[in-house]
């Protein structure tokens, strides 16, 4: 996947090495989107933080490992897709 600077993308679509600054965490997407968004926030995802995909599972490339702020978090791509990042 080609990554362009300044483009807003879903975190769950990125490949290892790609990332950007979080601009939004969506709440309305799925039936339990709001609940999942809250979980993501509580775990440490927040606007204005940098998030970079570090690793992906060898089996089916899902889940992924993401560096966010000074934390490292493992999550599935479906959940990561609630997070919008602006690539840089």
Partner 1 sequence: MNAPETVKTLRIALVGNPNCGKSALFNTLTGLRQKVANYPGATVERHSGRMTGAPYVELIDLPGTYSLTPKSPDEAVTCDALFGRSAFEARPDGIVCVLDATNLGQHLRFALELKATGLPMVVALNMTDLARREGIEIDVEGLSKRLGVPVIETVAVRKTGIAEIKAAIGVLGTVSEQAPTDLPPLRQLQRDARAMAREVTLAEGSGHKITRQLDALFLHPVAGPIILFSLLFVMFQAVFSWAETPMDMIDGGVASLQGWLADTLPDGWVLSLLNDGILAGVGSVVIFLPQILILFTFILALESSGYLVRAAYLMDRLMSSVGLNGRAFIPLLSSFACAIPGIMAARTIADPKDRLTTILIAPLMTCSARLPVYTLVIAAFIPNESVWGGMVGLQGLVMFGLYLSGIVFALLAAFVFKRVLSDGKRQPFLLELPKYQVPHLRYIFVGLLERAKVFLRRAGTIILTAMIILWVLGSYPLPPEGATEPDIAYSYVGIIGKGLATVFAPLGFNWEISVALVPGLAAREVAVAALGTVYALSGDEEVVADSLVGLLASGWTLPTALAFLAWYVFAPQCLSTIAVTKRETGGWKWPLVMIGYLFGLAYLAAFLTYRIALAFSA
Write out the two tokens for 8. Answer: 């807003």
Question: Judged by CB under 8 A, does residue 12 bind partner 1?
Answer: no
User: From the CB of 6, what's the least distance to partner 1, in Å?
Assistant: 23
Helix extents (H) in 1-88: 33-43, 77-80
Q: Which is nearer to partner 1, 78 or 88 (CB)?
A: 78
Task: Map the footprint of partner 1 across residues 45-84, applying CB under 8 A.
Answer: 46-48, 54-60, 62-63, 65, 67, 69-76, 78-79
**In the bound complex, what is the minimum distance in angstroms from residue 56's beta carbon to partner 1?**
8
> Which residues, at least 6 apart from 26, have a Cβ–Cβ distance to it below 8 Å?
33, 37, 82, 83, 84
């Amino acid at each position: 996947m080609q990554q362009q600077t300044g483009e807003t993308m879903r975190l769950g679509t990125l490949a290892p090495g790609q990332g950007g600054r979080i601009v939004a965490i969506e709440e309305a997407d799925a039936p339990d989107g709001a609940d999942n968004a809250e979980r993501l926030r509580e775990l440490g995802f927040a606007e204005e933080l940098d998030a970079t995909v570090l690793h992906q599972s060898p089996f089916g490339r899902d889940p992924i490992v993401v560096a966010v702020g000074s934390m490292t978090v493992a999550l599935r791509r479906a959940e990561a897709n609630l997070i919008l990042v602006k690539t840089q």
